[in-house]
Amino acid sequence: MARIAFIGLGIMGSPMAVHLQNAGHDVVGYNPSPEKTRPLVDAGGTAAESTADAVKDAEVIAVMVPDSPDVEDVLINGIFGNAPEGALIIDFSSIRPDVTTALAKQAIERGYRILDAPVSGGEAGAVNAKLSIMVGGSAEDFAEVEDIFTTVGKTVVHVGPNGAGQTVKAANQLIVATNIQAVAEALIFLEAYGVDTEAALTVLGGGLAGSAALEQKKQNMLTRSFEPGFRIDLHHKDMGIVTSAAREAGVVLPVGALMAQLMASARANGDGGLDHSGLLRGVERLSGQTPA
């Protein structure tokens, strides 16, 4: 069992920290909004007053914050110099691969070890400990904390050196966005012809058109209920990572570019705080319909 500091107790981080505490680890959590520490404290964990306070005795430090600047701030201004030398940092956030690589270099120079371990599966995956986790970093460090990953995730794969996890996550977000958009367009198409949409999506899900996106997001779309499991704002950020990294690598992603624009349109129309299944509203707007 490890002494774990968990920085970032939001929609994803909170249930992950609780799973780790319930598994027998000693978890100290910090979140800028103190009320977010309540589920961890109720599970027997401890709330810290700052990142520096949380990491001071940690063997493993988990980070789950929204974007590249947030991770840079947490590491540079909170972890580096305050955590014990040799501590292993696991960054569960989804950020730019180049930022991850640069931060990994700084961490190693300061005597820390670091893994980038972005996750896929949304709030449901975090709550049910069924996340997919793509891990970049040394194989030895991965092996040391593999039990931590399997406590919060179902599919856990070491995909290469530092930065590889974030690159695989960017590819994941491209596929997820495209699948959600396809399901949304299919649903609007079916509705236009008066088809029993629930029955139609059930049979489509049983064939080659089936996907995790269809299965997990169809009820959101059928009921027009877009309570966030993964916000459009965050997927917009991720599509920016995809398009930027693709340009840097010199590869052309036409669908990726289109999805980045559709995410941007959703935000511009005020849907950024909705679940990414809310892309359906953009299809409605393009079809001359007023979203409910």
Q: Is the dihedral of CA 226, 277, 288, 210 positive or negative?
A: negative
Secondary structure (DSSP) of 68-122: HHHHHHHIIIIITTTSPTTPEEEE-S---HHHHHHHHHHHHHTT-EEEE--EESH
169 is catalytic: yes
Residue 292: its pLDDT value, please? 84
Q: Nearest CA to 231 among 20, 10, 1, 45?
A: 10
The C-alpha atoms of residue 285 and residue 211 are separated, in whole angstroms, by: 25
**Residue 1 pLDDT > 90:** no
The C-alpha atoms of residue 238 and residue 2 are separated, in whole angstroms, by: 31
Residue 150: its pLDDT value, please? 98
Residue 76: its pLDDT value, please? 97
Q: b/e map of 235-255 (b: 16 or more CB within 10 Å)? A: bbbbbbbbbebbeeeeeebee
Token pair for residue 292?
């409910």
Tell me whether residue 256 is exposed, middle or buried, using C-beta atoms within 10 angstroms of its C-beta: 0 to 12, 13 to 18, 19 or more: buried
Q: Residue range 122-140: average pLDDT?
A: 96
Catalytic residue among 105, 154, 169, 217: 169
Q: Could you tell me which residues are beta bridge partners of residue 27?
A: 4
Element (H, E) at 6: strand 3-7
CB contact set of 128 (below 8 Å; sequence gap of 6+) = none
Q: What angle do CA 139, 25, 37 make, to 5 degrees?
A: 110
Cβ count near 178 (within 10 Å): 17
CA distances from 214 to 102, 263, 273, 278 (A): 36, 18, 21, 13
Whether 236 contacts 267, CB under 8 Å: yes
Residue 231: its pLDDT value, please? 94
Q: Residue range 186-197: average pLDDT?
A: 98
pLDDT per position as a tens digit, 67-119: 999 999 999 999 999 999 999 999 999 999 999 999 999 999 999 999 999 99
Residue 114: its pLDDT value, please? 98
Residue 244: its pLDDT value, please? 94
pLDDT per position as a tens digit, 249-272: 999 999 999 999 999 999 999 999
Confirm whether pTM is higher than 0.75: yes
The C-alpha atoms of residue 255 and residue 271 are separated, in whole angstroms, by: 21
CA distances from 190 to 34, 176, 200 (A): 46, 21, 8
**Residue 229 pLDDT > 90:** no
Q: b/e map of 264-285 (b: 16 or more CB within 10 Å)? A: ebbbeeebbebbbbbbbbbbbe
Q: What percent of the chain has pLDDT over 90?
A: 98
Token pair for residue 18?
């609780």
pLDDT per position as a tens digit, 32-61: 999 999 999 999 999 999 999 999 999 999
